[in-house]
Each structure stands twice: as C-alpha cells, then as structure tokens.
Structure 1
C-alpha cells in the first residue's frame, strides 16, 4: 500500500521553547513500561476532503499547547514547537482491488497495523489517518491517534467538540454539553429535618466512607502484591501488551438505556455496567461449553461456568469537581474546575460472573456495587499515591504501581458522555464516534460513549485471546433487550 505525498518529512521547528511540566498521570503514560495511546475512530456520512482537514488544523492546532509541543528528552516537560500539520495527516493510497467487498475488514487491518507503529517523539504526539472507504456504518472513516499523555477522554472529546458544529445549525459550535455537578449524598428530605437527624446521618456516612476506603485500599494493596483474577478466556497473558490490537464497535439505542435507567431509578453508568456484567457472563458460559446441538447451536442457558471466578474490572473515574464538558477555552484556564489534562483514576469493580434467570438481577448488582464505590476515597487516593511515588521514586516506579493491578485484573470499562446532537466537521456529518486506546495490559478494553440518540460500544482487543468480539456485542444487545422486556412484563415501562 502506497501513501499519497501529503506530508513533509522532518522534525517540528522550535519556537520560543517554552516549557511546562507533565501532570503525574501524563508522566506515567509516557514511561517506557506503559506508553498508552488514545484513539478516536470517527465515521462520516460523506467522503472526507483531506484539504479541508489540513486547512482546519493549520488554523487551530497552534492554539492548543499539548498538540503543538514535544516531550523533553527525559519525558518530564512539554516543549513548545512549531507544527508542520502535513506531517500529521496521512491519506494512504487505497487500491480498490485491495478493499474488495470488505471495506470494514480493510479498515480493521489498517488500524491494527498502526498499533504496532509508535508515534514519532520528535514531533507532537498525534496523527490523523483518513480512510475514504465505505463501511456499513459510514462512507469514510478517520482514525485519530494521540498519546494518552496529551489528555484523558474528557479532554480529547472537549477538543473534538471545539472543532465541530451542530449538523442542524452549521453556524453553532457543538461544545454546548451542559456541565454537571456530582450528586449530593444527602437526600433532600434529610436536609429539611432537624440538626440531630442530620448529625446522625453525617456520622454514619463518615464511618461508612472510612470503612469502605480502608477495605478498598487493603484490596488494592493485595492486588498489587499477589491477588490475581481467575484465568478465564478473557484474561490476557504476560505478553498481551506487545501484541497488535484490533478494534470493533457496535451501535445500540441510547433511548432504551434511558428507559431502563428511569424505571430502575439508577444512572446510565449503572445500566451499562449491568449490561456488561450480563454479557460477559453469557460469553464466558459459552466459552466453557463444549457441547453443541445437532444444528450447530450452543446449548441454551446451561450453566457451564466454574465456581468462584474472580473477575474484576478497572473502571475509570473522573476526578474533576465539574464532571460535565465545558468549552475548550474554559478547560485551558488555570485552576479551572474542569481542567484539561489527565485528571482521572481507577476503581476496581468485582463482577459476579454467573447466569441469572432474572436479567434485572444484573442491574441491581451493578447499582449496589456502584453505590458502595461512590462512598469511598479509593479513586482519589490511587491518584495521590501515584503522585507521591512519582515524586519520591520516579516515573518507572510509578508506572509499575499503576500497571501491576491492571495486569492482575481482567478488563477495563470506560464510559464517556458525548455530543447530545449530531455534529459535523467542516461540512462532513459524523455518523459515529468510537473512542478507545491501546498499549495496555488487558486483552480487552470496553469503551462506551453516547452520541445523539446512540450508544457506541467500542472494544479494543487482542485477537489471539478474543477471536470473536462481535459475540460480546451480540450478548450486550441481547441483554439490553431482555432487561427491557422484563420491565415491560412487570408494567414498569
């Protein structure tokens, strides 16, 4: 496959050389033992005009310090540089015969090869690949790579929103996702009661917070030292980080998720975790099942799961006090409550892998699990500990502290809110947005993102461990349908 000559070779030229230190998580992500890269796969309803993309980047990329800086030699500081945008926009020559009838297969192979090609550290750590190939979901696809040290999912989505417009109103920018505050833990009815009841509630809540935090930190210590998940068909081996990754996405109905959320009085995140827990239980059950019916179908709902499976999920947690999106300019302001950068941490969720006759049980378990985790300082303490270890022992020790519990758990789930309306980039309407990442120690990552009336499930997976990611998404769709049907039968919808 040949490349069109849309780029000049050579390093970015230094300008005034201004320097800025990396945040603690950014230091961890760019360390040799980690080297995480975030990707954003965007499908478009029209073919992409590369000249339009280049023109837009030339006008805007210099305004953003992270995308116009390179790393210092020791990886501790950002150094401002002049960006040759042509170096970062790749439009590969595509032979129609090479595509054949499988446009999605061609794109999947192309993106998988890129996971084995590191970003050039002599330039700002991002690039955009334009693939004018038709798939079942889009007329063209862009594959945007940016090193995770540049920013977390919330930061990168805010940047994307700042560069796009509402499809319904091309003159209006799409960055108007309303900011959200964290939920208060005290109910309104208690706030109106006397000081005695409020005091009792506060004392009880504080004791529960301290207890949950203590248990979580002890479990984290055990996970760092010795506690490993059960070896299942979803658990990656020691070399999983170095294997090429592939990406798969599925679009499901956001309205159905909201119906379940309202009927069960829970959050969208609770619903998504319940669906994920149900789907992984059914997927693993089939993996353990060796019996098949005469027509080739798997035996239905026979429990083949071994007892006592330890299956934990690393779940990303936004540490910002304002958890909604703000305009990019506001995020770049110093001391902003919704800052640009990597301000997130992890909690570890124990999934109950088992078959339930009532699909709503998965939802109840996820709601209870998340209610407990919200009353713990686990996420904040993990970030604080990594920051201290980085300062005292250096980035190598901090990277190992970050990666060891990841290696000892099974998978990771991330949920990001996206644009509430359909967006367009310079006249190119966006069909879907599928965020993901690679360079991790899990055999599979599950990213979930809302977009208009859609929920996009995005999997990054190791094909040597998980050859059939579409079946996991099939199970997620079936679990969603089963939960909705169960609520309908009970008259709750």
Structure 2
C-alpha cells in the first residue's frame, strides 16, 4: 500500500521497536469512578478534549521505504470506544470477576492496522472498588508513561473545584544527603562505574535468569492470558519508613517488592531461595528529571521534556532471602543497588547499541534485541507519580487509578502509582504459573514487616546502609537492635 510521504512524521527508534512482529507493547490504564458513568459525557470528553491532546491519537503507523512514520487520518470515535454488556442484576463482588475476565480478554486483543493505536472501554457495572470503570489502552509506540500521565494531568480537573490539577513534584523523595550530582565522582567511583557498566551490559546481552516460580522461561509468554490485580498501601506510612531510613520512596518500594517476591518464591519452592533473579526497572531518560510538564510544552519541538518514548530498562539483581535476617536490609540493599545502577553507563550504552542494531538489521532486528533483553529477566517494575488531589473526568470523580504494561515477555509485571495519599500496586501475573492472591499476601506481609521493623527507630535517626551490612555494627544503635530482634525473616 502506498502512502503520501508529505506531512508524515518519523516514528522514534524506540517507538518502532515497540511495534513490530517481534514485540508489541501497550499501556493499560484504569480509572475507578465514584459515581455511575454518564456515557454521553465521557464521549464528549473523548471527542472534544482527548483527541486534541496529541496528534498521535489521530495517526496510524505506516511503512515508507523501510522507515515507520506517523500518518494523520480521520478518527471515528465510535471505532475506538467499546461498551461491554455483562449480565444484569448481579452484586459488585460478582461484577469483579466479570471485570477481571474482561481485562484479561482485551489485553490479548490486537489493534486494527488501519486505525490509530488506542481504545477506550466504558464499563458501567459497579464493582467492589468503583461505581464504574474507564479503561484506556494505548500502544506503547504512542508514548511512555510520563507522556500519558502528563496528558492526564493536563486535561482532567480537580474534583473539588474547577482549577487544574497540581503537577506533582518528582524531587521530593530524595533524602537530604543524596542531592549531589551523580557526575561528581572520585577516581575510585569512576572505576567502579566502568566495572558496573560492563557487568550490566553483559547481563543485558547474554545472561538469563533461572527458571523459578515467577519465571517459566518459556517463549511467547506475552501471548498467554494474564490476570491483573492490585493492592493499596498508605503513602504516609511509606514516607515514614523513608524518613527513618534516610532513603527515597523508590528505595522503600523497591526493597519491599524484592522482599515480597522472594517470600513468594520461597513459599512456592525452597530451592528458588538462591535462584538468580533480575528486575528490570523502567526509567525516564529525559534530560531534565523534573516535574511533569503541560502537554502544550511537551509538544514544542525544543522541549526538554518531550512527548514520546524516552525510557530505558535498568537491570537490578534482586537480593536473596538467605543473605539477610532483617527486612530492612532489603530496603538498604535496594537503595545501594539503584544508586549504583544510576551511576552506571549501561543504560546509555544499551540505547546506543539499540541504534546500532537498527542501522545494521533494521527495526525488526532492533526489536528482537530489545525482546531478548526483556525475556532474560524475571520481572519488570514501572512506577509513576500521580496527583495528590482527587481528579475528575467529565464531572466523574476518580476514586482510584492503576495501570499495567502489556506485551512484555515476562510472567510477572509490577506497576506502582501514587494518588490521593495512597500507593496502588498493580500485579500482572501469567495464568497457571503465579498465584495472584498469594503474591498479594506476600506483598502485604513484606510491607508490614518492614514497617514494624522501623517502629523503634526515632524519626530523627539517620540510618546508614552500612549498619546492616555488618552484624557487628548493630550494637551502635539500641533502637535498631530492637527492631532487628522483632523482625527476623524466616528462611
């Protein structure tokens, strides 16, 4: 099929890799409403507001002389909006099952080739957590999570007044002692960073994780049915842990997720306690690591925070249960690992390698390279900062929000988003391999044990990761010693 080249825009290298015969990734977002859905208001919002956010929502991806480009087309809204019909007169608990099955089905559905790569599902039936649900499904080639969150913040309003939502700050979670630039290294740090870069790049290219209760190692798991479930935690409690341990919110979340994953693996198989497991943490590679920006600013040609896919995968080796006896060790270890990984050049080198592979083997070859990196690991973690105020879409107050990344060749995917003082963790699990209820129970247990382990630590105490690296140093703090005694991890 021939397409007119004039006026088309090129698809970014990452965008091309994310939409190929080898790899096709999407983002699924769910908005939980407090009131029953007024379909006409939602349709008006989509037509008058949503379609104007980005030209990508009115474009299809076409191949012109071997290069993928965005071609503007006319959008018929009804082609993208789906309103499912469930049995009537059922309880919210019963509708939970129908809703979960519906999500599992749309996860596996493909986009029409002749239409823009997005769809919206209006689910009017009340569930245990909402009076109605709005599901957005975007192909990842359209943009990354940062782009879509900025779009959400730009077009939704606060539920309590007509003012726009406050764009959340991405700077607030740094501990006081970690504000220096990562580029201020001494000689030893530079050599360590080079060594870490070589090791990280080797992992991305060659090594595979062990087969475990969370990783089947089978090819094509991205095409198998998936269950999406979620769990909610108090952001204030996580910030309390962060303050007491002189860590970041990301450190606490990552440490708790690593701890929970290891607890689940041990429950399923004692042999997996020492298995090699790697988490891929999705990171934003935009030059300015600041706040979210309005859509108008992101769409400018010279924007420092542009729309699109500006992301990379940062591999982090998960600590083993056998290495520690205190739950807090997982937070400290996560803090140390993430800081080291951010100082590594591996993310930059891998992105450059992706460009080289694309030039030699085309975007299909580059997509295969990215696919191999993903399937070598055990799970992916993606997190987003959401608004602190309650938001409303077309006069529908939003009670909760969560998202999931689709099309990844992994059996376990974890996403995190903050909203209204809560932290919502969504878990994507392959049916038949991972028990979502048991995994959620392990996650609740991990957060509880970490929180209880900090009970005797004064808020003003500045903990050092080295305290728990050597057990002989534990006597330096009676408070920390008491926390250790009450929070042993059974291995």
Give the TM-score band, short-chain normalised: 0.7 to 0.9
User: Is the 8 Å Cα contact of residues 209 and 377 (structure 2) preserved in structure 1?
Assistant: yes
Instruction: Report the alpha carbon displacement of residue 16 of structure 1 after superposing the two structures with TM.
Output: 11
**What is the Cα deviation at residue 81 of structure 1?**
1.3
Residues 1:444 and 2:425 aligned together: no
Q: Is the 8 A contact 1:90 1:130 kept in 2?
A: yes
Worse overlay, 438-447 or 97-106 = 97-106
Q: Which runs of 4+ in 1 moved over 6 A?
A: 14-17, 181-191
**1:18-59 Cα shifts (integer Å, max 9, x gaps):** 200001110000011101111101111111111111111221
Q: What displacement does 1:187 show?
A: 6.8
C-alpha contact (below 8 Å) 1:65/1:80 kept by paired residues = yes
**d(CA) in 1 for partners of 2:123, 2:146:** 25
Q: Does 2:56 align with 1:71?
A: no
Report how far residue 409 of structure 1 moved: 1.2
TM value normalised by structure 2 = 0.86
Change (3 A) 1:140 1:329: same
What's the secondary structure of 2:203's corresponding residue? helix
SS at match of 2:268: helix
Cα shift at 1:176: 2.3
Equivalent residue for 2:7, pick from 9, 14, 18: 18
Distance 1:477 1:307, change over 3 A: closer
SS state at 1:96 partner: coil
Instruction: Determine the structure 2 residue equivalent to 1:364.
Output: 332
Alignment of 1:234 with 2:228, yes or no, is no
State whether structure 2 residue 478 is matched by structure 1 residue 488: no
1:129 aligns with 2:117: no
- Report the 3-state secondary structure (helix = DSSP H, G, I; strand = E; otherwise coil) of the residue aligned with 1:102: helix
Deviation at 1:181, TM superposition (A): 10
Query: Which digits, 9 at most, give the CA deviation of each residue in 1:262-297, with x for residues without a partner?
Result: 111111111111001111111111112xxxxxxxxx
Please list, as runs of the form range in 1=range in 2, the aligned pairs for 1:1-400 lying within 5 A after superposition: 18-60=7-49, 61-73=51-63, 76-96=68-88, 101-169=93-161, 171-174=162-165, 176-178=167-169, 180=171, 201-222=185-206, 227-236=207-216, 237-288=218-269, 304-306=270-272, 308-323=274-289, 324-354=291-321, 356-400=324-368
Which residue in the other structure is 2:474 paired with?
none
Go from structure 1 to structure 2 and tell me whether the alpha carbon gap of 1:307 and 1:338 turns closer, same or farther (over 3 Å shift): same
In 1: Cα distance, 2:280 partner to 2:134 partner: 28
TM-score by length of 1: 0.86
- Distance across 2 between alignment mates of 1:389 and 1:189: 35
Cα deviation, 1:387-429, whole Å, max 9, x if unaligned, reads: 2211332011101110112112111111111112111112111
Partners of 2:120 and 2:457 lie apart in 1 by 49
Cα distance 1:307–1:133, how it changes in 2: closer, same or farther (>3 A)?
A: closer
Which residue of structure 2 lines up, in the alignment, with residue 413 of structure 1? Answer: 381
Between 482-491 and 112-121, report the one with greater CA deviation.
482-491
Q: How far 1:185 sits from its partner (Å)?
A: 12
Q: Secondary structure at the match of 1:394?
A: helix
CA contact (8 A) 2:159 2:390 kept: yes
How far is 1:214 from its partner? 2.4
Once residues 397 and 348 of structure 1 are traced to their aligned partners in structure 2, the CA distance between those partners, rounded to angstroms, is: 21
Kindly indicate whether the alpha-carbon contact (under 8 Å) linking 2:417 and 2:425 is maintained by their aligned counterparts in 1.
yes
Q: CA deviation at 1:105?
A: 0.7
User: What is the Cα-based RMSD across aligned positions, in Å?
Assistant: 2.7
Q: Which runs of 5+ in 1 are unaligned?
A: 1-13, 192-197, 289-303
- Indicate conservation of the 8 Å contact 1:181/1:322, yes or no: no
Cα distance in 2 between the residues matched to 1:17 and 1:168: 46
Cα separation, 1, equivalents of 2:44 and 2:5: 24
Residue 53 of structure 2 contacts residue 295 of structure 2 at CA under 8 Å; is this kept in 1? Answer: no
Query: Does the aligned pair in 2 maintain the 1:50–1:91 contact within 8 Å?
Result: no
Say if 1:16 and 1:375 are closer, same or farther in 2 by CA, change over 3 A: closer
Are 1:15 and 1:81, in contact at CA under 8 Å, matched by a contact in 2?
no
Question: What count of residue pairs does the alignment treat as equivalent?
Answer: 452
Say if 2:316 and 2:337, in contact at 8 Å, map to a contact too.
Answer: yes
Output the CA distance in 2 between the equivalents of 1:83 and 1:112.
26
- CA 1:132–1:321: 2 relative to 1, 3 Å: same
Match of 1:272, SS? helix
Shift of 1:97: 5.3
